[in-house]
Amino acid sequence: MKREKITNQLLDLILNSEVPLRLLDISKSMGIKSDTDEYEMLQNSLEHLIGTGVIEKTPKRRYILKQNESDSAITGTIRIQNDKGIIETQLSFAPKVSIQTRNLNTALDGDKVVVQLHAQKKGKKPRGEVTKIIERNNTAIVGTIDYNGYYYFLIPDEAHYYVDFLIPETKLKGAKKGDKVKTSLLQWDDPLQSPTAEVKEIIGKSGVPVVEFDSIIREFELPTEFPDGVMKELAAVVPDIKRKPPGRMDLRNQLIITIDPFDAKDFDDALSLDMLPNGNYKLGVHIADVSHYVPENSETDIEARYRGNSVYLVDRVVPMLPELLSNEICSLNPNVPRLTFSVFMEIDMKGNVVDYEIAESIIKSKRRYNYDEVLEIIE
């Protein structure tokens, strides 16, 4: 750990120095005396960093950060924010490197690149320059076609695209000015020229709400259908609960309700409330037991993990689970038995939780309320 600390301090010192440093300068700055074990560690660190190409030794026996591209150059995925590139690293002296637009050298958001660090004055944030693009990000570029009287070009929807893209007439695929389209990058090798792209799909007229929502789905490549393996598993699910599964708490006769927005289609939690003999309340929160129908590492589970969450647009939902599961089989619809996990909390008159219990259960919701109805009751 001591050698690692010395190496990190050494890198910080060289990176923030405006001039090449002698060994004597370095040891004095780091407070390391020549007759100590730390001095030997310092020398070893210098030789190691020279060997790995991070720093170099000048003819005058001074040490400086290696300026040419080398094996030590930072490799990573670049993100464009506010017309600047950002790349995160595992280096303690430069955990985040900023790249000015003029130094992006045709790199686009999501590209895997090589970045060479620039020498910086002490206290300044690390900066660098893209020296090589290893792999282009193949994500679709969604935007609006425009025409200036000479050329067709794409104005991207997303701000992280800091340039417009020329569209050759042979690559328009019938798109016209004002069309919302999905495109892919054709070529961009020279930062002094505009990148070119080709139309892959015409989504519709820009500004039309349904077209704008469609463009979001295309741009972020949101999955609109489930794989065959998921649908095959879904077909094998038995939705009807004929009897109480062993080991589950039977709450089908309890007064349990759901409260959701008036337009909700899936009900994943329900509530119950009872007064205990000691004057405390027993609050029950009953959560749909999706895991009963989606075994771990099944095709459905893997697909749900890939999606991560449901995406709610203004006019539609891109669900994490097939709607037969989320809206029907697992949804706590009224007057049908559903499998749940129940959390019971004993709450005193001051609102403190004094006890709790968690159990696998089966419920039958007695009523679906919406927020407006409940607010009216409260008021």
Give the CATH number, domain containing residue 22.
1.10.10.10
The two counts, helices (H) then strands (E), for the chain are: 8, 22
Same domain, residue pair 96 and 214? no
Query: Is residue 201 in a domain?
Result: yes
Q: Which residue(s) pair with 343 in the sheet?
A: 285, 358
Query: Is residue 304 in a domain?
Result: no
Give the CATH number, domain containing residue 110.
2.40.50.690
Q: Which two tokens stand for residue 275?
A: 């007064």
Which of 110, 135, 160 marks a domain boundary?
135
Task: Look up residue 233 and give its DSSP letter.
Answer: H
Three-class secondary structure of residue 184 per DSSP: strand
Q: Structurally, how many domains does the chain consist of?
A: 4
Query: Is residue 232 in a domain?
Result: no
Same domain, residue pair 111 and 211? no
Same domain, residue pair 153 and 172? yes
Task: Look up residue 338 and give its DSSP letter.
Answer: E
Same domain, residue pair 146 and 28? no
Rg of the chain over CA atoms, in angstroms?
Answer: 31
Helix axes 37-51, 23-30, angle to 10 degrees: 130
pLDDT tens for the chain, 379 residues long, are: 477 788 888 888 877 776 788 888 888 888 888 888 888 888 888 888 887 777 888 777 888 877 554 445 788 889 998 888 998 876 666 778 889 988 999 999 999 988 888 766 556 778 888 988 989 998 889 999 999 989 999 999 988 899 999 999 999 999 999 999 999 999 999 988 999 999 999 988 877 777 778 888 877 888 888 999 999 999 988 777 888 889 999 999 999 999 999 888 889 999 999 999 999 999 999 999 999 999 999 999 999 999 999 888 887 888 999 999 988 999 999 999 999 999 999 999 999 999 999 999 999 999 999 999 999 999 9
Same domain, residue pair 243 and 360? yes
Q: Whose CA is closest to 88, among 76, 99, 80? A: 76
Same domain, residue pair 119 and 152? no
Q: Are 340 and 287 in contact (CB under 8 A)?
A: yes
φ, ψ for residue 265 (rounded to 5)? -115, -20
What is the extent of the structural domain holding 101? 74-135
Helix, strand, coil share of the chain (percent; to 5): 25, 35, 45
Same domain, residue pair 90 and 155? no
DSSP run (H or E) holding 30: helix 23-30
Same domain, residue pair 13 and 125? no
Same domain, residue pair 154 and 260? no
Give the CATH number, domain containing residue 172.
2.40.50.700
Query: Is residue 301 in a domain?
Result: no
- The terminus-to-terminus CA distance of the chain in angstroms comes to 64
Helices (H), 128-252: 209-219, 228-235
Residues 6+ apart with CB under 8 A from 37: none
Same domain, residue pair 127 and 186? no
Same domain, residue pair 17 and 124? no
Query: Is residue 200 in a domain?
Result: yes
Same domain, residue pair 359 and 283? yes
